[in-house]
Amino acid sequence: MDIQRIDFLKRLLSAPSPSGDEAIAARIWRDEARTFADSVRTDVRGNSYAVLEGDGPRVLLAGHIDEIGVMINYIDDDGYLYFSAVGGWDAQVLVGQRVRLLGREGEVIGVIGKKPIHLLKGDDRERASKIESMWIDIGVKSREEAEKLAAIGCVGVIDAPIYTLPNGRIISRSLDNRIGAFVVLEASRALAQDRPLANVTAAATTQEETSFAGATTAAYNVDPHVAVAVDVTFATDHPESDKRQFGDVKLGSGPVLARGSATSPLVYKRLLEIAKRENVPYSLQTNPRYTGTDADVIHMARGGVATAVISIPNRYMHSPNEMIDLVDVENAVRLIAAFVRSLRAEGEFVPE
């Protein structure tokens, strides 16, 4: 992956944009889209769209751009901030973390505190920490001082930098699912250089971590014949993973193709054929009830959408140190671009 694309990815990952407050990351995504797309726009839900005009079937490539975070719900007399989760946190991950709050005049740094283990007695030492027993300390002395910096309802994210590791792997917060938003835009960039027949819309959708609101409205807006939702999925190549339950998914083994009730069996079959033809490595995953991705609402939009889910293997999901392998990102882009170029007719995924 070239330096320019890596720089774009790092800027995208660094942008604090929890679910419901995605504007900062979305602006970065749209600015990059304007370098090659025929048109770029946003909507009232904060979704961002990059369009490549074509005369064939309408295709939606969706990756949600929000991340999990925190929201301030109370400030006490001493200036300590109490908070709720935005999205699905394991509360143990939050203990002792630094946070970046989107404050009144800019970012505010704080630290998540709890009662020290030295002061816990008996069974309290063994009990899991709860968000209700934590607070954020921003270094102030009073409620009045705190309220000049942060208001009730302000949001924030874990303050965690990006690191490059051996073997093309990176760690960062927000890979779930800023990397999906990155993949759909990079697939569109590849398609802009070798135009398909299809009319292609890449969408950076909002609020997947809380409500799927962005994907719901994006699918209605675009009215696609075919859609690919790009997200992350659990890697099972580390200790304590369960391959029997979640499949054999390794970092570096390629994008993961999902088979299940929300996905079209005909699109799934096409993706398998193209992956084999183009020598794109891949893994398989089953989602018999729901996928936990934007696909769960996209496939039901209007009269129905032939939908696929392509995922990037991810270790340590919903933590400040999610880990992926960039080779999986490159292969996902290759597969999606080849799939879109294969499309010819609006009804080719209607079962007979």
Please tell me the distance from the alpha carbon of residue 175 to that of residue 198, in angstroms, as a whole number: 29
What pLDDT sits at residue 121? 56
Does residue 326 contact residue 203 with C-beta atoms inside 8 Å? no
Nearest to 48 by CA among 35, 64, 36, 59: 64
Q: Which residues are known catalytic residues?
A: 208
What angle (nearest 5°) sits at the alpha carbon of residue 333, between those of residues 327 and 339?
135
Task: Report the CATH superfamily, name and number, of domain 3-67+173-341.
Answer: Zn peptidases (3.40.630.10)
Q: Which two tokens stand for residue 19?
A: 């679910």
Please tell me the distance from the alpha carbon of residue 346 to that of residue 336, in angstroms, as a whole number: 17
Flag whether pLDDT at 23 surpasses 60.
Answer: yes
Flag whether pLDDT at 271 surpasses 70.
Answer: yes
Burial of 294 (0-12, 13-18, 19+ CB in 10 A): buried
Alpha helices in 15-70 (DSSP H): 23-33
Q: Poorest-confidence range of 118-122, 137-141, 176-180, 243-247?
A: 118-122
Q: Which two tokens stand for residue 352?
A: 């007979």
Query: DSSP per residue over 138-172, as a string?
Result: -S-SSHHHHHTT--TT-EEEE----EEEGGGEEEE
Does an H or E element contain 157, and which?
strand 155-158
Flag whether pLDDT at 118 surpasses 80.
Answer: no
Percent of the chain with pLDDT over 70: 96
Flag whether pLDDT at 88 surpasses 80.
Answer: yes
Flag whether pLDDT at 245 surpasses 90.
Answer: no
Does residue 203 contact residue 35 with C-beta atoms inside 8 Å? no
The stretch 223-230 carries a mean pLDDT of 98
**Domain residue extents for the chain:** 3-67+173-341, 70-158
Please tell me the distance from the alpha carbon of residue 163 to that of residue 154, in angstroms, as a whole number: 27
Assign domain 70-158 to its CATH architecture.
Answer: Beta Barrel (2.40)
The stretch 32-44 carries a mean pLDDT of 98
Say yes or no: do domains 3-67+173-341 and 70-158 share a fold.
no
Pairing of strands 58-64, 199-205: parallel
pTM of this structure: 0.96
Please tell me the distance from the alpha carbon of residue 83 to that of residue 102, in angstroms, as a whole number: 13
Burial of 88 (0-12, 13-18, 19+ CB in 10 A): exposed
